Amino acid sequence: MKLENEAALENLIICHQCSTLHFKTKIKDGSKACCSECGGILYRYDTKLIEHGLALSITGLIFFALANFFPLVQIEILGHTQFITIPKTIFSLFDNGFYIVGLICAFLILIFPLMIFVINLVLFSMLKLRRGEQWTKDLLILLAHITPWSMTDIFLVSILVALVKLIGYAQIHMGVAFWSLIVFVMIDLYIVKRVHLSEIWMLRKRIIIEGEKV
């Protein structure tokens, strides 16, 4: 296959399952394109993704705020009670001299997850308003870089492991933030697995650049 210029690459797509190369074709709203070899899904085009993305982004930000402003767990040992929160956990690392670890944790479980949901909220809002050609492009590139570094799910698993080890030594009470964190992680995983960046790129191209009606 001979390509005249780099722009021609935008019309090609590779199947993630069998690596077969295909030419992109326009598909109807609510439909999907499948690989001719293995039948795997190449891409979807669904304008309802905008409303779903906005709803999930707003809901995720609400639960993220709850997970950070309220105590995760209450631990009681020999009459002494201590509340644990996400910001308090990060600050305790700095107080004990673990500056690099604290900085990494701040980015992985606080800053990057917040940025991802804020970026998604702005992106879907711009797609809804059919504006921001350059802004949406820059935000999508930024989103592609930081999404792999969100590790709230790993943080949640580490909390569960620590709680299991403490059950025999202390009384543990789950706080509002703990359940909010679980919901936030579930929304985060759903967005990562269900809302693919390639589909947002396609929405951007057809709605903002080509001016198709939603």
In the chain, where the domains are located: 1-45, 57-209
Distance of CA 1 to the CA centre of its chain: 36
pLDDT in tens, 118-170: 999 999 999 888 888 888 889 999 999 998 888 888 989 888 888 888 877 77
Average the pLDDT over 27-42 and give the result: 78
End-to-end CA distance of the chain: 35
Compare 152 and 47 and report the one with higher pLDDT.
152
pLDDT at position 99 over 60: yes
Contact 153, 187 (CB under 8 A): no
What the block records as the tokens of 103 is 């900085």
pLDDT in tens, 55-71: 999 999 999 999 998 98
What the block records as the tokens of 159 is 């909390």
Percent of the chain with pLDDT over 90: 29
* Residue 187: predicted pLDDT: 93
* Residue 184: predicted pLDDT: 94
Residue located via tokens 């921001």: 132
